[in-house]
Amino acid sequence: MKTLTCDLCDHEARGETFEKWMEALKSHYIEAHADVMNDPSKGEADMKKWMEENKTRFDSEATSSKETT
């Protein structure tokens, strides 16, 4: 499981896969970054680029969560 911060603030979310991580961030984005999510100047291409950048960031994160065994 990986723990990464939100790309807009210091909020942390955890997920075993990119999809699970994004699901964990969903409510945070809705609450804390509604202005960004509802920005009428952002289109589908912007969303696709944002998702690709976050997937790359998730995939490149080499360390797992801060849990200890």
Give 23-46 pLDDT, tens digit per residue: 999 999 999 999 988 899 999 999
Asked if residue 46 is part of any domain, the answer here is yes
Asked if residue 65 is part of any domain, the answer here is no
Asked if residue 34 is part of any domain, the answer here is yes
The answer to whether the predicted template modeling score (pTM) of the entire model surpasses 0.85 is no
pLDDT for res 24: 94
15: confidence class by pLDDT, cuts 50, 70, 90? very high
Asked if residue 69 is part of any domain, the answer here is no
Asked if residue 8 is part of any domain, the answer here is yes
Asked if residue 68 is part of any domain, the answer here is no
- Domain containing 9: what range? 2-60
* Domain count across the chain: 1
Of the two residues 65 and 24, the one the predictor is more confident about is: 24
Asked if residue 12 is part of any domain, the answer here is yes
Q: Pick from 8, 38, 4, 42: which is nearest to 20 by CA?
A: 4
Asked if residue 52 is part of any domain, the answer here is yes
Q: Pick from 42, 10, 40: which is nearest to 25 by CA?
A: 10
pLDDT for res 31: 94
65: confidence class by pLDDT, cuts 50, 70, 90? very low
